């Protein structure tokens, strides 16, 4: 016999599982094979932001940066101290500590003092453009107004 409640609960469960699977597919696995990154957008009343989520098998952590334009260009770096650094358009940066046996941790606020600021030793992984990791040449677009203390030799005054 047809039970409407069971039917709608079943459909809702399938929809939720489909959304979760779709959300997981948006993660890009980095070359280390254990760390993944996802970029999304947030619209608020004052501005648009890119949300960057980093995950490994122990957990995930997110932070956000001001969105310049409608398509992110995010340079991705790994440090020898186990950090993942993201530098976006305008030179804005995000730092995550990615321990080998714990979930990622955003390094902002009080944690910012732990950031590996020696960018000359960072390993360039690639750039996220059009929601995909590419191995295009390293370039940090400052968009005429931005600044960054990191990777100065790869900065472009305007765009890349």
**In the predicted model, is pLDDT for residue 111 greater than 60?**
yes
CA angle 77, 78, 81 (to 5 degrees): 140
Section 69-83 average pLDDT: 90
Question: For the chain, what is the mean pLDDT?
Answer: 85
pLDDT tier at 22, thresholds 50, 70, 90: very low
CB neighbour list of residue 138: distance below 8 Å, 6 or more residues apart: 75, 124, 127, 151, 154
Least confident of 7-11, 50-54, 121-125: 7-11
Section 147-156 average pLDDT: 95
CA distance 81 to 98: 9
pLDDT tier at 71, thresholds 50, 70, 90: confident
The SS3 assignment for 89 reads: helix
Beta bridge partners of 105: 97
CA distance 135 to 128: 9
Domain boundaries, the chain: 27-156
pLDDT of residue 14: 44
Q: Which is nearest to 52 in space by CA: 15, 102, 93? A: 93
The pTM is what? 0.81
**In the predicted model, is pLDDT for residue 64 greater than 70?**
yes
């Amino acid at each position: 016999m047809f039970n409407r409640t069971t039917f709608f609960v079943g459909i809702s469960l399938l929809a939720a599982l489909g959304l979760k699977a779709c959300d997981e597919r948006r993660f890009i696995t980095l070359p280390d094979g254990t760390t993944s990154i996802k970029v999304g957008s947030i619209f608020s009343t004052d501005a648009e932001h890119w949300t960057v989520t980093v995950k490994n098998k122990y957990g995930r952590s997110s932070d956000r940066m001001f969105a310049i334009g409608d398509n992110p260009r995010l340079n991705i770096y790994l440090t020898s101290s186990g950090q993942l650094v993201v530098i976006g358009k305008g030179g804005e940066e995000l730092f995550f500590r990615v321990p080998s046996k714990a979930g990622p941790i955003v390094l902002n606020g009080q944690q910012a003092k732990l950031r590996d600021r020696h960018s000359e030793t960072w390993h360039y992984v690639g750039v996220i453009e059009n929601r995909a990791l590419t191995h295009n040449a390293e370039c940090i677009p400052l968009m005429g107004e931005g600044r960054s203390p990191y990777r100065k030799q790869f900065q472009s005054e305007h765009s890349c």
